Structure 1
């Protein structure tokens, strides 16, 4: 029977991000344990933590401040049940949000890294071109993007009924007349010229579209 690996025990976490996530997770567990202890025994409990970055976290039932003040002064803390109930609820919400924010930031960071990894592994994907900045696209990139979008248009046109000139298209409760040309009447030259014209006019470049288009053929 194989021997089970021995646990290394509790050691300092060197990675900054992993250490922050662990801190907030353990804080949440500690605060929950304090709340449970107070609910079960009626004890007033206060916890004060100082993170490595110097940020102070506190949690109390119902509030940490009067308990700490009473401890330092040696007096009995003032009790106001209504106020204490509101403070307890607000502190529980603050504690919950403090726990969720770093975890959510970590998830977003992982999602962004995953998306970048997919784009790096698939450099030919049209999505890489669509989400790129205009100044980063070359003429070859624009030509490829146009061809890919044209294929998408052809696929959509094959699945949807044609919308002819003069027909009404209803959207929700409103109807509007289509001023669009029939899809079958849009030529490659028309779409190609329009696409490059819009791109270079929006980027402020003075380019002869017909000269540019002729160079791409």
Structure 2
């Protein structure tokens, strides 16, 4: 089995990057035959800006640009897609949102046109979401931020394309708790990545 781990953080020393590394370690610890690729969007210089060229792709007037095709090929090679990202303003960073805007395009992630039925084209894809937040669980629940994130990301993006969100976890209080708690949780996520392909769980928080 093969996992694509997508990381959206500008600082390679960040907890976000460390969590991605622990997930990768967990994958190989569970089964040395399983493989992974880490896509560091910031280091690779991915352009998240949705351009005229991307707009033309949406309207089926042009083929996707080369950088988008490369990302789609990465996902096509994967049995599981893992997104690891910090929570900015109760959502994902612009870098990751722009990656989704451009890569999950009409004709690849879904098929929309006015003269044919809508088709979800990522029904084979299994997704794991790992979000890192500084606030506590009570803040997410009390203000409805957690439910809003689930609605816009888990359902609004992945369910729309037919992909199954197998696990969705928020590792919270990232600036105040011992980071080893979250690193241990990430290792467990990696170890269970390919044992949960047929399960669907949504955990609001994960503090090992």
Q: Which has the higher contact order (CA 8 A, sep 6+)?
A: 2
Please give the TM-score of this superposition, normalised by the length of structure 2.
0.21
Please give the TM-score of this superposition, normalised by the length of structure 1.
0.20
**Structure with the higher helix share, 1 or 2:** 1
**Structure with the higher strand share, 1 or 2:** 2
